[in-house]
Amino acid sequence: MIQMYNVSMIYPNGVKALTDVSLHVRKGDFIFLVGPSGAGKSTLTKLIFREELPTRGQIMVNGINIARMKDKEVPYLRRKIGVIFQDFRLLPNKSVYDNVAFALEVAEASSKEIKKLVPAVLKLVGLTNKADMLPTELSGGEQQRVSIARAIINNPIMIIADEPTGNLDPETSWEIMNLLVEINKLGTTIIMATHAKDIVDGLKKRVIAIENGRVVRDEQKGAYGYES
Amino acid sequence: MIQMYNVSMIYPNGVKALTDVSLHVRKGDFIFLVGPSGAGKSTLTKLIFREELPTRGQIMVNGINIARMKDKEVPYLRRKIGVIFQDFRLLPNKSVYDNVAFALEVAEASSKEIKKLVPAVLKLVGLTNKADMLPTELSGGEQQRVSIARAIINNPIMIIADEPTGNLDPETSWEIMNLLVEINKLGTTIIMATHAKDIVDGLKKRVIAIENGRVVRDEQKGAYGYES
Amino acid sequence: MKVRTVGYYFQEALTSLRRNGLMALASVGTVAVALLILGGALLTVLNANNIMKSVENELLISVYLQEGVDETAIGDLEQQINDTPGVAKSRFISKEESLEKLRQQFGETKGSLEFSRNPLPDSFEVNAEKSNLVKGIADKIRGLSGVEKVNYPAEVVQKLSTLVEWVRLIGAVIIILLALAAVFLISTTIRLTVFARRREIGIMKFLGATNWFIRWPFVLEGVFLGLAGALVSGLILYFVNFYIVEAVKQFPFMRVQTDMKDVYIILGSLLGGGIFIGAIGSVISVRKFLQV
Amino acid sequence: MKVRTVGYYFQEALTSLRRNGLMALASVGTVAVALLILGGALLTVLNANNIMKSVENELLISVYLQEGVDETAIGDLEQQINDTPGVAKSRFISKEESLEKLRQQFGETKGSLEFSRNPLPDSFEVNAEKSNLVKGIADKIRGLSGVEKVNYPAEVVQKLSTLVEWVRLIGAVIIILLALAAVFLISTTIRLTVFARRREIGIMKFLGATNWFIRWPFVLEGVFLGLAGALVSGLILYFVNFYIVEAVKQFPFMRVQTDMKDVYIILGSLLGGGIFIGAIGSVISVRKFLQV
Ligand SMILES: Nc1ncnc2c1ncn2[C@@H]1O[C@H](COP(=O)(O)OP(=O)(O)OP(=O)(O)O)[C@@H](O)[C@H]1O
Ligand SMILES: Nc1ncnc2c1ncn2[C@@H]1O[C@H](COP(=O)(O)OP(=O)(O)OP(=O)(O)O)[C@@H](O)[C@H]1O
Ligand SMILES: [Mg+2]
Ligand SMILES: [Mg+2]
């Protein structure tokens, strides 16, 4: 599903966010990206859906070389990837319902489909009674859940989640994680950057640890810290 | 330091965020606010520094009735309270240094003081080498630490922290918590809304649990969940 | 592009207009003001041009004939004058007619202007097509046989013809400048509107929206803004023009013959211009924020 | 307010201008365009007014005297005419002078205008102070003894006086409208600039900034924008006015006596207006977002 070969990312201001990263992600993988603050986790995820282009190296997503991709093709790649952003990125002028519906709108889904799917997904994340509110009228955790709903509604082939439980209480976090595990079981690849030790240790999935822009550990059934 | 009497908060859209909350916070307290997503934790903190006015009830902060306070006096109240916002609220056009310096600037501190204090605080949160960057050039955790630095630099009588470690790895989280504990020891009251079970359980401070807008538990040396 | 998506575009544009009420109003206002000024200038120049033309037509060349030129010679002369390139029309004035005029000029007391014989000459009054042709025509006619003297308000004519050229030139320059200013104002307003929503555009891109999917609502919004502004300014101009033309028509030396077709063309261009600028302004303004 | 804080305000304003480069440029441009149009209109009306005045001065009342009025009576009459309220000046023209003029008018051929005795009357040329006084003066003079007939370009005078009033009125209305438009455009621009930074303002408030602490940089920014725009428009207007006045001066019937003091007053007001609008616009625009 994803192949990275010697990828380096240097931001315009000179910060070396990633250095020489090589990775293989198979279809159906469930991966935790862990590492200290500023290690480069978000940068790695941004490369996959082409928010940023790598300074060096090759990235293949779903068989397509991302660097060589035409600008016109980028939207179609992005529609196949559901992204839960660290900073939510909700549209401020749209209600919760419209924010979630937007992912379908973008893919020109039928109005019937939208009317069926959106309430169902809102129910999954527990926001049915907040459907008509604006993002600014939500608590932090509620905003995060809207962003989760939007990421999964499109039935994507891959979900990228950047600290999707950072603003959630343990109980809600586990509900969301169980949801992601279910989705993963249906074949969707999941890449999740997180600091939640409990969750990583509890689920025993593949763990990729990044420090200072380098992959320092890549374990199947791994834990948050080094097994000690 | 803070007295709340039968405080209720209903947002304009009709959401009952807090119902009949009464609280006493003494000077030097270290309080964890816990509760599920959307319980009303952020709303409670917003009432203290008067981001919102309560629908009903009285709030005294530092001996002043907040509802009766004149608009002109509000800034002086806020300068005494350091707030770490859940959504960071960094000024997008100012560098990390200027964002932190702004809290001093607002209080018309001398340029000498600013030049002395800002680098020291940036060092405390581990951002010395990011001083010249803009917030958009930072990782989520780095932004959170800027917001922490800004909240503590003014030597406030009270710090309100809304999930200050949501985007931080466990190690950095503990560094920040230790910092807050130190500051607390010097006499600063600290109120922290959080979902970090480890931290709450580890520090054994006063815990106030909110559910559905009501205080359901208020324990000295408490834990995140009910002792079971 | 599905019908449903087109519906979405319209809905988006309208919702955005409603949500950004104040800004939308500001934009419509700016477009209206810009087009009002531009349209006002266009109509002013149009009317001024018509006034100028009527003033030009008043400029007469007086051709005085020699004593004793007979009727057939006068007929010949009239033919020759009318054949001179640039002559709009000519009128023969007999010496009797001239004397009558003179009498009227200096009061009516009998006797004060009684001559043994009429000392005034026969003459022609000649109108030129354009004021800058007057001198040439006068020189040509002076050479014709039977002509004693040709008079024209020499300095005035020359200066007037220069003035008319100048007014036209300055008018054109002013209108071009105002048109540029209008385009600038409108596109600035749209740019600021888009700028305030740059983050939204970025988010849409990250969710897999194509550029045109993002652009369309903005373009429609721009079109609505441009249209609304143009309509407001158009209506105001129409009535103001109407009243001013009516008022000015009272003055005999300002026989304004403003063709309503011209007015409609100007108003139509304003409308088209407003819509076009609104749409193009949106496309250009959005472009910068689509690069993600 | 400490000196250090004032320094901070200036620094903030300048930094913000630099960071929002494009928007700042757009604002300056808008201010410049708005003031340019306004100033242009002011100068046009000023010049037109001067032209009008010079045209008014050309309007003559011709007073023809009866035959045989003697020199002392003429002197009396001159006195009486000059004492008539509204008369600017008068000039006596003897019958000989009149004849000379007439001769010049109809060619130079001797003989054609030789009379047994001069049939033309003595006359006065009288200038009125204002065109709408002409009729009154003429009526008064007509009643004086020794006056045979009083002529004045009756219709023209009446119409002209109405026209002049109209031009002044319309000019005033247009200028007021343009001034409103300028204020509107400038304040809109500033409002949009502030709107794009509404979040920032909220954040500052939450950090304990007083309203004036937040306002000052915006006010200074507004002042800079207004100043820059006013300077640009002022310079352009100064030179355009200069060239146009020079060009127009060539025409004798447009003896424009534009007092440079008036021009400086207009340019000065533009500058002051730009700064004022910039500052006030900022204060008003920021106000809405200070309510947190
Ligand atoms: N747009 C940007 N421009 C410049 N530097 C950036 C940008 N985004 C991130 N960086 C820098 O790149 C490094 C890696 O950032 P990244 O966001 O990938 O970290 P992260 O692992 O997601 O951290 P966190 O857990 O705090 O979110 C950081 O040092 C950050 O300062
Ligand atoms: N500005 C607002 N307008 C309307 N409703 C709001 C607003 N802010 C919050 N709410 C609602 O009030 C309730 C409490 O919100 P609050 O932000 O206090 O929750 P919280 O305990 O901080 O949750 P989290 O842990 O997710 O941040 C939620 O149901 C939320 O939807
Ligand atoms: Mg990150
Ligand atoms: Mg909260």
Dig out the tokens for B120 from the structure: 């020291």
Could you tell me the CA-to-CA distances from C249 to B75, C236, C246, C260, D158 in Å, in that order?
65, 20, 5, 14, 14
d(CA D167, CA D289): 44
Of D34 and B133, more confident: B133
Instruction: Write out the residue range of the structural domain in which residue D105 sits.
Output: 61-151
Number of H helices, E strands in chain A: 7, 10
Percent with pLDDT over 70 in chain A? 99
Protein residue whose Cα sits closest to atom 12 of ligand 2: B17
Helix H or strand E segment including B47: helix B41-48
Same domain? D70 vs D176: no
Q: What gap in Å lies between CA D46 and CA C48, rounded to an integer?
A: 18
Closest protein CA for atom 2 of ligand 1: B137
The lowest-confidence range among C119-123, C179-183, C204-208, C210-214 is C179-183
Q: How large is the average pLDDT for residues C41-68?
A: 73
> Among partner residues B15, B167, B224, which is closest to A86 by beta-carbon distance?
B167
* Structural contact between residues B176 and B125, judged by C-beta atoms closer than 8 angstroms: yes
Pairing assessment for the beta strands A2-10 and A16-25 based on DSSP bridges: antiparallel
Q: Which range, of A31-35, B8-12, B145-149, C79-83, averages the lowest pLDDT?
A: C79-83
Average pLDDT, chain B: 93
* pLDDT, position D58: 64
Residue D224 has pLDDT above 60, yes or no: yes
- The pair phi, psi for residue C93, each rounded to 5°, is -125, 115
User: Rounded to the nearest whole angstrom, what is the distance from the C-alpha of residue A44 to the centroid of ligand 3?
Assistant: 9
φ and ψ at residue A91, rounded to 5 degrees: -80, 115
Inspect the interface and report whether the beta carbons of B167 and A169 lie closer than 8 Å. Answer: no
Beta bridge partners of A210: A215
Q: What is the pLDDT of residues D208-221, one digit of tens each?
A: 999 988 888 888 88
Distance from C-alpha of D9 to C-alpha of D214, rounded to nearest angstrom: 9
Question: What percent of chain C stands above pLDDT 90?
Answer: 3
What is the pLDDT, as a whole number, of residue D164?
65
Query: How distant, in Å, are the alpha carbons of C38, C126, C133, C155, C229 from that of C33?
Result: 8, 46, 40, 41, 8
Do residues C283 and C245 both lie within one domain?
Answer: yes
**Same domain, yes or no, for D203 and D284?**
yes
Residues C247-264, mean pLDDT to the nearest whole number:
65
Kindly state whether residues C68 and C93 are assigned to the same domain: yes
Contact D129/D85 with Cβ under 8 angstroms? no
Please classify residue A151 by burial: count the beta carbons closer than 10 Å to its beta carbon, then call 0-12 exposed, 13-18 middle and 19+ buried. Answer: buried
Find chains touching chain D: ≥3 CB pairs under 8 Å.
Answer: B, C
Strand partners, D87: D128
3-state secondary structure of A154: coil
What is the pTM (predicted TM-score) of this model?
Answer: 0.78
Shared domain for C33 and C119, answered yes or no, is: no
- What pLDDT, on the 0 to 100 scale, is given for residue B11? 95
pLDDT tier, C254 (very low <50, low <70, confident <90, very high otherwise): low
pLDDT digits (tens, 9 = 90+) for C121-175: 888 888 887 767 777 888 888 888 888 888 776 655 565 666 667 667 777 777 7
Query: Amino acid identity, residue D77?
Result: L
CB A48 within 8 A of CB A59: yes
Instruction: For chain C, list the strands marked E by DSSP.
Output: 60-65, 87-93, 123-128, 147-151
Place of tokens 């649990």: B209
Residue A202 CA to residue A178 CA, distance in Å, equals 11
State whether B106 and D207 contact (CB < 8 Å).
yes
CATH of the domain at D76: 3.30.70.3040
Of the pLDDT bands very low, low, confident and very high (cuts 50, 70, 90), residue B150 is very high
Rounded Cα distance between B35 and B209, Å, is 5
Helix, strand, coil percentages for chain A (3-state, nearest 5):
35, 25, 35
Ligand index nearest the alpha carbon of residue B17: 2
Residue ranges of A 59-88 with Cβ closer than 8 A to chain B: 86-87
Cα(C91)–Cα(C179) distance, rounded to whole angstroms? 44
Residue type, C166: W
CA distances from D221 to A165, C194, D20 (A): 42, 21, 11
- The residue among B137, B93, B127, B146 whose CA lies nearest residue A43 is B137
Task: Tell me: do C264 and C172 sit in the same domain.
Answer: yes
Q: Give the chain D residue whose CA is nearest to the CA of C192.
A: D192
Domain end, chosen from C151, C182, C210, is at C151
Instruction: Convert the pLDDT of each residue in C6-29 to its tens digit.
Output: 888 888 888 877 776 666 777 777
Q: Which of C60, C165, C185, C200 to mutate to test the interface with D (most CBs of D within 10 A)?
A: C185
> In this structure, are D140 and D166 located in the same domain?
no
Among D125, D151, D177, give the residue marking a domain's end.
D151
Categorize the per-residue pLDDT at A179 as very low, low, confident or very high, splitting at 50, 70 and 90: very high
B63: closest CA among B9, B25, B19, B15?
B25
**Same domain for D271 and D184:** yes
**What pLDDT, on a 0 to 100 scale, did the predictor assign at position B228?**
44
Helices (H), B80-186: 96-106, 111-124, 140-152, 170-185
Chain A residue nearest residue B43, CA to CA? A139
D184: pLDDT strictly greater than 50: yes
pLDDT tens string B85-121: 988 999 988 899 999 999 998 888 888 999 999 999 9
pLDDT digits (tens, 9 = 90+) for A27-43: 999 999 999 999 999 99
Which ipTM value was assigned to this complex?
Answer: 0.79
Burial class (CB in 10 A: 0-12, 13-18, 19+), D114: exposed
Of C151, C181, C196, which residue sits at a domain end?
Answer: C151
Question: Between D147 and A113, whose confidence is greater?
Answer: A113
Whether C54 shows a pLDDT value over 70: the answer reads: no
The Cα–Cα gap between D62 and D66 comes to 13
Shared domain check, D112 and D78: yes
What pLDDT is attached to residue D39? 81
Residue identifier of the C-alpha nearest atom 28 of ligand 1: A38
Judge whether residue B72 has pLDDT over 60.
yes
Q: What is the pLDDT of residue B141?
A: 92
Work out the number of other CB atoms within 10 angstroms of the CB of residue D233. Answer: 26
Q: Are residues C161 and C267 in the same domain?
A: yes
* Domains in chain C, number: 2
Phi, psi of B22 (to 5 degrees): -125, 140
Q: What is the pLDDT of residue C253?
A: 52
Least confident of A176-185, C216-225, D164-173: D164-173
Query: For residue A88, which of C16, B84, B146, C200 has the smallest C-alpha distance?
Result: C200
Rounded mean pLDDT, D233-243? 82
Q: Which residues of A touch B162 (CB under 8 A)?
A: 140
Closest-CA distance of chain D to residue B17, Å: 19
Structure confidence at residue B226 (pLDDT): 63
**Shared domain check, C207 and C73:** no
Q: What is the pLDDT of residue A228?
A: 44
Q: Where is pLDDT greater, at A146 or D264?
A: A146
| Per-residue pLDDT tens over the stretch B167-192 | 999 999 999 999 999 999 999 999 99
Q: What is chain D's alpha carbon radius of gyration, rounded to the nearest angstrom? A: 31
In this prediction, residues C209-217 reach a mean pLDDT of 89
The per-residue pLDDT for B164 is 94
**DSSP string of chain D?**
--HHHHHHHHHHHHHHHHHTHHHHHHHHHHHHHHHHHHHHHHHHHHHHHHHHHHHHHH-EEEEEEPTT--HHHHHHHHHHHHHSTTEEEEEEE-HHHHHHHHHHHS-S-TTTT--SS--PPPEEEEEESSGGGHHHHHHHHHTSTTEEEEE--HHHHHHHHHHHHHHHHHHHHHHHHHHHHHHHHHHHHHHHHHHTTHHHHHHHHHTT--HHHHHHHHHHHHHHHHHHHHHHHHHHHHHHHHHHHHHHHTSGGG-----HHHHHHHHHHHHHHHHHHHHHHHHHHHHGGG--
Q: For chain A, give the mean pLDDT.
A: 93
Is there a single domain that holds both residue C42 and residue C166? Answer: yes
Q: Which residue of A has its CA nearest to C1?
A: A108
Distance, first Cα to last Cα, chain D: 23
Classify B60 as helix, strand or coil: strand
Q: What is the pLDDT of residues D5-14, one digit of tens each?
A: 788 888 888 8
**Are the C-beta atoms of D90 and C45 separated by less than 8 Å?**
no
Q: Regarding predicted confidence, which is higher, C155 or B127? A: B127
Name the more confident of C180 and A4. A4
Cβ contact, residue pair C203, A105, below 8 Å: no
What pLDDT score does C159 carry? Answer: 59
The protein residue whose alpha carbon is closest to atom 14 in ligand 2 is: B40
A141 contacts in chain B (CB < 8 Å): 36-38, 195
CA of residue B84 to ligand 4 center, whole Å? 11
